[in-house]
Amino acid sequence: MADCNHNHYWQKVKDYNGQLTVSKNFVETYQAATGLIKWKDHINVPNPGTVAGKIIGTGILISKNLFLTARHGFNSSLSFPRDPRIPNSTPSLEFMVKHIEICFDFLENISSAVKINIARVCKEKCVYCENPHNDSVIDYLLLELEGFPGNRFTTIKLASQDPAVNTTLCIIGHPYDGEPKTIAPGIVKSISGNLIYHDIDTREGYSGSGILSVNGDKGNLVGIHLEGDCFGNLNNNRGIRSTVLREELAEFI
């Protein structure tokens, strides 16, 4: 969830002009697959606390009703949120999925976004999530959404091959500060263990965003972003490789 917005090398999707090495047509084609993860505006439990409406992170539609993100965004030992019922406590994933929603088409005002409920958790894993230096990290959360939002919004499948070093990439994600969806470009720096390393100028809230390879106006989902190198310890920003995720999620894709 780290904020590595050092160079401000990004633009809002709504205003994107095609000048950041990624074509405007590419962004228009793939941006709709990206969704904002947030607590619902009204949490119907006794003593709901103050998390209502708070942003958790970003994720991406990989099929008509499957939504993929990073598990660590739901782990309060690493980051917000806390259990709204009990101060300084950890909410269960079961509790959270009942009280969060996925917002699509948040390009300008959150009030006009399409909000989708979660049907169930399909699969999740968080191994070495606390250790950004470990190439054996496995960090994902696959959610089934109610209805079939992929019939309305773009979906993008997990790539079956890793991209080459220096391949152009981009992340389309939702900043944690509540700004509308943004686009940020970069390149593949290396592949190591379970991870893909990149130099995209990531922002807090991008955790769980799809890492898209760019080939003209065509794209592939080559990873899920996990963390930015805010303190110069990782050499580059990192995500979990789609090829690893395909093995982990083979029963669903």
The confidence score (pLDDT) of residue 79 equals 39
Asked, for residue 199, whether it belongs to a domain, the answer is yes
Neighbours of 109 (CB within 10 A): 8
Q: Where are the alpha helices (DSSP H) in the chain?
A: 24-30, 93-99, 242-248
Instruction: Decide which of 121, 151, 181 is a domain's last residue.
Output: 151
Structure-block tokens of residue 104: 């699509």
Neighbours of 54 (CB within 10 A): 18
**Is the CB of residue 171 less than 8 Å from the CB of residue 181?**
no
Q: How many domains does the chain have?
A: 2
- Angle subtended at Cα 244 by Cα 37 and Cα 170, rounded to the nearest 5 degrees: 55
| One domain, residues 103 and 75 | yes
Asked, for residue 6, whether it belongs to a domain, the answer is no
Q: What are phi and psi of 213, to 5 degrees?
A: -80, 150
Instruction: Decide which of 135, 151, 167 is a domain's last residue.
Output: 151
**Is the CB of residue 196 less than 8 Å from the CB of residue 240?**
yes
Asked, for residue 74, whether it belongs to a domain, the answer is yes
| One domain, residues 27 and 38 | no
The confidence score (pLDDT) of residue 194 equals 96
Instruction: Identify the residue whose tokens are 């909410």.
Output: 91
| One domain, residues 99 and 162 | no
| One domain, residues 60 and 107 | yes
Residue type, 177: D
pTM of the model: 0.91
Domain that holds residue 61: 33-151
From first to last of its 253 residues, what are the pLDDT tens digits of the chain?
334 545 567 899 999 999 888 999 999 999 999 999 999 998 887 766 677 888 889 999 999 999 999 998 887 543 344 555 555 566 788 888 999 999 999 999 998 999 999 999 999 999 988 776 789 999 999 999 999 999 999 999 999 999 999 999 999 999 878 889 999 999 999 999 999 999 998 877 788 999 999 998 889 999 999 987 655 555 689 999 999 999 999 999 8
At residue 141, the 3 state secondary structure works out as: strand
> What is the tally of helices (H) and strands (E) in the chain?
3, 13
The confidence score (pLDDT) of residue 100 equals 93
C-alpha separations of 111 from 40, 169, 172 in Å: 12, 30, 20
Burial of 91 (0-12, 13-18, 19+ CB in 10 A): buried
Instruction: Decide which of 111, 127, 151 is a domain's last residue.
Output: 151
Asked, for residue 96, whether it belongs to a domain, the answer is yes
Asked, for residue 143, whether it belongs to a domain, the answer is yes
The confidence score (pLDDT) of residue 210 equals 96
| One domain, residues 130 and 230 | no
The confidence score (pLDDT) of residue 69 equals 97
CATH code of 215's domain = 2.40.10.10
Structure-block tokens of residue 123: 């699969």
- Angle subtended at Cα 81 by Cα 225 and Cα 102, rounded to the nearest 5 degrees: 60
